[in-house]
């Protein structure tokens, strides 16, 4: 198994945890929590693959993905009281997850011969749509709409991946560099409370 594959499974595992711990689940039943964990973990990649017409879907073709999701859900359920205290650590893993999924999403889209703009959007979708679906089902404002540098960090990293790719930077280096930029932007933004202006903020 390649490092990248293992990282993907780990990312999926953490996405499932974050989904199972979604706000609304605290007062809902275990099955609801598991369901949200599942949807969050597969949502972004599934939407990307449906749009690209890439079948079979990753989680259908590869049981390991499914097991990573189940492991994440079980972790959230069994170690609930510990995991909930580790929110900061989880945020770190979530950030690494979206960073990784963005660049892998861009790469996959390129393999399907789509244009550069579409590849950037597929990268962003892969990373954030699971969370958007999770929040929409929970009836809370999707994280992507909050005043937080989140999907915009993914966009920067996706564009960077394309640029480095254009300059024939070696794939592994590019994946690592672009994903690191996404993670760095997001973590710095959280640390220094940076955010983008809103639509109505200048008049």
**Residues making contact with a copy of itself (CB under 8 A):** 20-21, 24-33, 35-36, 38, 46, 50-53, 55-57, 59-60, 63, 66, 70, 76-77, 80-81, 114-115, 117-118, 121, 132, 136-142, 144-148, 150-152, 155, 195-200, 202-203
69 with 18: CB under 8 angstroms? Answer: no
Which is closer to a copy of itself, CB of 11 or CB of 131?
131
Which is closer to a copy of itself, CB of 53 or CB of 167?
53
CB of 172 to a copy of itself, least distance (A): 27
DSSP for residue 193: T
DSSP for residue 202: -
CB of 173 to a copy of itself, least distance (A): 27
Which is closer to a copy of itself, CB of 168 or CB of 203?
203
d(CA 76, CA 88): 15
Long-range CB contacts (within 8 A, 24+) of 65-68:
65/8, 65/9, 65/12, 68/9, 68/10, 68/12, 68/13, 68/16, 68/41
Which is closer to a copy of itself, CB of 104 or CB of 153?
153
Report the first-to-last Cα separation within the chain, whole angstroms: 54
CB of 91 to a copy of itself, least distance (A): 19
């Amino acid at each position: 198994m390649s490092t990248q594959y293992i990282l993907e499974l780990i990312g999926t595992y953490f996405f499932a945890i974050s989904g199972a711990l979604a706000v609304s689940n605290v007062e809902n039943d275990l099955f609801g929590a598991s369901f949200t964990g599942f949807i969050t973990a597969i949502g972004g990649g599934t939407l990307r693959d449906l749009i690209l017409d890439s079948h079979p879907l990753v989680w259908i073709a590869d049981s390991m993905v499914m097991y990573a999701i189940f492991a994440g859900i079980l972790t959230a359920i069994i170690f609930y009281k510990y995991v909930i205290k580790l929110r900061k650590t989880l945020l770190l893993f979530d950030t690494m997850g979206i960073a990784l999924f963005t660049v892998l999403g861009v790469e996959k889209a390129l393999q399907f011969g789509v244009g550069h703009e579409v590849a950037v959007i597929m990268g962003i979708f892969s990373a954030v749509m699971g969370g958007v679906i999770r929040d929409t089902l929970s009836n809370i404002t999707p994280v992507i709409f909050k005043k937080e540098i989140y999907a915009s960090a993914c966009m920067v990293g996706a564009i960077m991946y394309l640029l480095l790719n254009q300059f024939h930077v070696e794939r592994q280096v590019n994946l690592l560099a672009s994903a690191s930029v996404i993670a760095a932007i997001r973590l710095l933004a959280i640390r220094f409370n940076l955010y983008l202006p809103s639509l109505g903020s200048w008049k």
